Copies of this chain bind each other. A is one copy, B any other.
């Protein structure tokens, strides 16, 4: 499937203003409200837009600390095994298998350093995980505060 320029501008609008009315989006991109709705419906059906979400300040919910943890696994641990080892930890907001020394990179969000320590201990207790290497986030330079799990 192909996106034309109008589609991209609609997506850009909805990335900024996810609750904007179709008429508002239409004003910005030069279409009528029903036309925008049709295109948004198509974008959702095609999986370009997978949903809508509130953007929440994690600090306001009491999650003030975040960290990136490199995870080292035994031998040839499959992505599925890594996934099942980390999915149960609610502090994990994102995780990726990556090239390089580490098996995976895990982004966690925690209340404070004590909470981070607990989460790390829990992670290291997983069978597959042999070692971790943690980098605590000192400040966010770019990127919206991502959505947080509820404390």
Contact = CB atoms under 8 A, between A and B. Distances in A.
Interface residues of A, number: 61
Interface in A54-83: 54-57, 60-61, 66, 68, 79, 82-83
Contacts of A99: 135-136, 138
Interface stretch (A7-15, A28-36, A120-128): A7-15
Contact of A150 (B12, B57, B60, B151): B12
Q: Give the oligomeric copy count.
A: 2
Interface in A1-53: 1, 3, 8, 11-12, 14-19, 46-53
A94 B143 contact: yes
Interface of A: 1, 3, 8, 11-12, 14-19, 46-57, 60-61, 66, 68, 79, 82-83, 86-87, 92-100, 102, 104-107, 135-147, 150-151
